[in-house]
Amino acid sequence: MIQSMTGFGSSSTDVFTVEIRSLNHRYMDIFIKLPSYLNHAEMQIRNIIKERFSRGRFDVTISINPEKTSRFTISKNVAENIYKALQSLQRELMIPGEIGIETLAAYKEILLEKEPEYNIDDLLSTVYEAIKNLEAMRIEEGKNLQKELLSRIEVLRDLNDKIRIKAPDEVPKLKEKFTERLKLFLETENIESNRILQEAAILADKLDISEEISRIQSHIKQFKEVIDSGTVVGKKLDFILQELGREVNTLSCKSADYEISSMVIEMKTEIEKIREQVQNIQ
């Protein structure tokens, strides 16, 4: 099943909250935002993501619940210095009253936060759960993309079949048109020259679109096979679309028939719509 590169997954425990957002990207691009004391776990988290996905931009945010992990201690030296400074000020300005713990508590400098206590396995377990939820969302979105892609590729196939049916009528018309223009140019009513007929045949052969029609049919078949082949298909599909676009452009240059030209324009439009969707597939 194909995966979209767009998705979101999160997981929370009493201690950790992990959120992962993924967007389409040509390569693998991972950004991790986490408290500095968790930096040692960053490489493990990166490797976990790389094991599960092949490309995309991943924004990972990891936070830790301070109510469960915060620990503080008192800096006695700082508290003593503040206390002595206040006593000195009190004597100098003759300020009455006592300097108690309530006064010292107003100075945040005396409180030192210790590194929170946590279990690294709990962190990684939370990351795994967030990735699992992210992957589920990407797969679900991938199902929707697959339906739309198959629907649009069928439109291409139908247009190509219509052009195939109409194409045999185009070569005789080209020969006739070529001969009529030569008659007009040479101001004569009857030209039976073998040379002229030969040139008309050569021109008609150059403008024959049967080969392009067959190649388009082959690319469409390959496109559908790749979609059904697995989860990492985005780059392959993009390459096939490039080849499809090339053949359709050749059709556009060769065909002089109005109806065929109109259908070729529709094909180009569908290919662009498909390309937009393929950009979001892993």
Q: Are residues 82 and 150 in the same domain?
A: no
Lowest mean pLDDT among 10-14, 209-213, 238-242: 209-213
Q: Please report the sign of the dihedral spanned by the C-alpha atoms of residue 23, residue 29, residue 35, residue 37.
A: positive
Domain assignment of residue 236, yes or no: yes
Which of the pair, 27 or 207, is modelled with greater confidence? Answer: 27
pLDDT value at residue 9: 97
Tell me the CA distances in angstroms from 172 to 112, 133, 167, 169, one per residue in order. Answer: 91, 61, 10, 6
- Section 91-102 average pLDDT: 83
d(C-alpha 10, C-alpha 133), whole Å: 7
pLDDT value at residue 196: 60
Residue 201 has pLDDT above 70, yes or no: no
d(C-alpha 172, C-alpha 85), whole Å: 106
Class of residue 89 by CB neighbours under 10 A (exposed 0-12, middle 13-18, buried 19+)? exposed
pLDDT value at residue 125: 95
Q: Are residues 99 and 59 in the same domain?
A: no
Domain assignment of residue 1, yes or no: no
In the block, residue with structure tokens 């073998």: 194
Class of residue 193 by CB neighbours under 10 A (exposed 0-12, middle 13-18, buried 19+)? exposed
d(C-alpha 14, C-alpha 64), whole Å: 9
pLDDT value at residue 173: 65
List the structure tokens of 68. 């469960």
Q: Are residues 130 and 161 in the same domain?
A: no
Tell me how many domains the chain contains: 3
pLDDT value at residue 252: 85
Domain assignment of residue 255, yes or no: yes
Domain assignment of residue 78, yes or no: yes
Range of the domain at 37: 7-67+120-137
Q: Are residues 146 and 221 in the same domain?
A: yes
pLDDT value at residue 91: 84
Q: Are residues 85 and 196 in the same domain?
A: no
Domain assignment of residue 274, yes or no: yes
d(C-alpha 114, C-alpha 73), whole Å: 7
Give residue-wise pLDDT tens across range 238-259: 999 999 999 999 888 887 778 8
pLDDT value at residue 183: 63
DSSP 113: E
Q: Are residues 153 and 238 in the same domain?
A: yes
Residue 186 has pLDDT above 70, yes or no: no
Domain assignment of residue 2, yes or no: no
CATH of the domain at 129: 3.30.230
The set of residues, in sequence order, having a beta carbon less than 8 Å from that of 277 and lying 6+ positions away, is: 145, 148, 149, 152
pLDDT value at residue 78: 81
pLDDT value at residue 115: 64
- Kindly report the number of other CB atoms within 10 A of residue 22's CB atom: 28
Residue 116 has pLDDT above 60, yes or no: yes
Q: What is the mean pLDDT of the chain?
A: 85
Give residue-wise pLDDT tens across range 129-138: 999 999 999 9
